[in-house]
Structure 1
Amino acid sequence: MLIRYTPGATGPAAQLRRAVRAVLYLPTACRMAADSCYPWLNAGAVRFLNRRLTRRMIGFEWGGGRSTVFIARRVLTLVTVEHNAKWRRKTAALLARHCIGNVQSRFLPPGDAPGHPQARPAIWQRLGHVHRRPEFAAYSDAILDFPEDSLDFVIIDGRARVECALNAISRVRPGGFLVLDNSEWEKYAPIFAITAGWTRQDFENGVWRTSILCRPVAAGG
């Protein structure tokens, strides 16, 4: 069960929720305090990544930070896309401090760049989906530089997450997986609809949820 945060809420009930959330968040805060490269994800999802990632893998990440170093240490290559200049600097500093050289970092701040609408997967047209955050068009389309079925995993932990997922599902190879953080938010429900048939694992800590969606391998594959 998740203890929801309601912005701007006041009164005894809101204060109690904040106190309970703080207690539930404490184990994560302690892990992050003890290790500067511990990802800001649910512990179950971190354990999953620790088990599944291998030195042969190629991955893609929206939203850099602690996870970038954690993942890069375990894979062949990682591409990370960031929209925020502050987080870009923090991630670059972490990578330099830990001598990580297998990360390709891209900085794509919000703006007027149209992205690559002509290269978007057919699911956009099939759903009649219109980009809800057009200022992040280039950001969410960055993954389209990769061929279909070419990535072992994709981390979605930045902006325009539905649009990122629409682009990512055809880039994840069969047997690969998506990691969606803050997946309890109702606005991300379309991601679960478009990955119907994928295996889903949810990891919760009472404060937020991280979901991992594994693309099935075709019969005989």
Structure 2
Amino acid sequence: MARFHTSTGAFVGITKLPNVFRSGFQAANRRLFGVIPRLPWIPFAAQRAISKVLTKNFSVWEIGAGFSTLWLAERVNHVVSIEASREWFDRLQTIISHESISNIDLRFEWQAEKMASFSELPDMSIDLLFIDGGPRGACLANGFAKVRPGGYLYLDNWDSKHFWEDQVDFPTKYASKLTSCVSLVDFVPGQVGVYEGLLLQKASSHHID
């Protein structure tokens, strides 16, 4: 698809077109000077939407670590982040140690079944499940019960349906268990392209069947 559309053909929208310059500038800095924006590599619209719902008492479970991990840690109480790339794990661990960041539990795990296991978590115990890596479909299926009523799930690269395997109909299938489902299409930091993220809010307990 053109650079103004997602892989599934969704247009970024007229009001977001100026973000191509921001994205392009960051991409040029990255390629020419190795300067990587310390932002989540998710649509700009998703950054804004997530930042509005985060509070300092949030507990976050993240699949797929990155600069999103650092960004989240600045805004919430605690982040557990699972990363399958040893290079990214080591890079982030160095930053965390150098900056004495105490509210990130960064874990290296490359086995899909372990990345998608939430067995250590009680049901309804986290405020945000942030999925941007690993076996995404399995993480969504297994992790939904771990999000508290009224909590949130962020699903990055929702337009890449092959990432989500048999969970592409999740928003429809679980509509009665959701308060909202918002598609967030925009450019992303550090590379020129349009992608889609999905922000779900789990229904309050008295609305869940």
TM-score by length of 1: 0.72
Q: Which amino acid aligns with 1:37?
A: R
Gaps of 5+ in 2: 9-17, 30-34, 188-193
Q: Which residue of 1 aligns with 2:22?
A: 27
- Residue 182 of structure 2 corresponds to 201
Inter-CA distance 3–58: structure 2 relative to 1 (3 Å threshold): closer
Amino acid at match of 2:5: L
Post-superposition offset of 1:91: 1.7
Quote how far apart the aligned CAs of 1:31 are: 5.5
Cα shift at 1:54: 1.2
Using CA pairs under 8 Å that are at least 6 residues apart, name the structure with larger relative contact order, 1 or 2. 2
Measured at CA, do residues 61 and 160 of structure 1 come closer, stay the same or move farther in structure 2, by a change above 3 Å? same
Give the count of matched residue pairs. 178
TM-score, with length taken from structure 2:
0.76
Higher percent of residues as strand: 2
- Cα deviation digits, residues 77-102 of structure 1 (max 9, x gap): 11001111111112212323433110
Q: Check conservation: 1:38, 1:66, Cα contact below 8 A.
A: yes
Residues 1:139 and 2:115 are matched in the alignment? yes
Aligned in 2, Cα 1:65/1:147: closer, same or farther, shift over 3 Å? same
Instruction: Report % sequence identity.
Output: 24
2:192 matches 1:211: no
Which residue of structure 1 aligns with residue 160 of structure 2? 185
Task: Give the 3 Å change call, closer, same or farther, for CA 3–194 of structure 1 in structure 2.
Answer: closer
Q: Within 2, Cα distance between the matches of 1:205 and 1:2?
A: 9
Contiguous gaps of at least 5 residues in structure 1: 6-22, 111-135
Mapped contact 1:65–1:90 kept (Cα < 8 A): no
CA contact (8 A) 1:54 1:75 kept: yes
SS of 2:97's partner is helix
Residue in structure 1 matched with residue 60 of structure 2 by the alignment: 59
CA displacement 1:36-67 (0-9 Å, x = unmatched): 42110111111122221111111100000100
Q: 1:96 to 1:31 in 2, by over 3 A?
A: farther
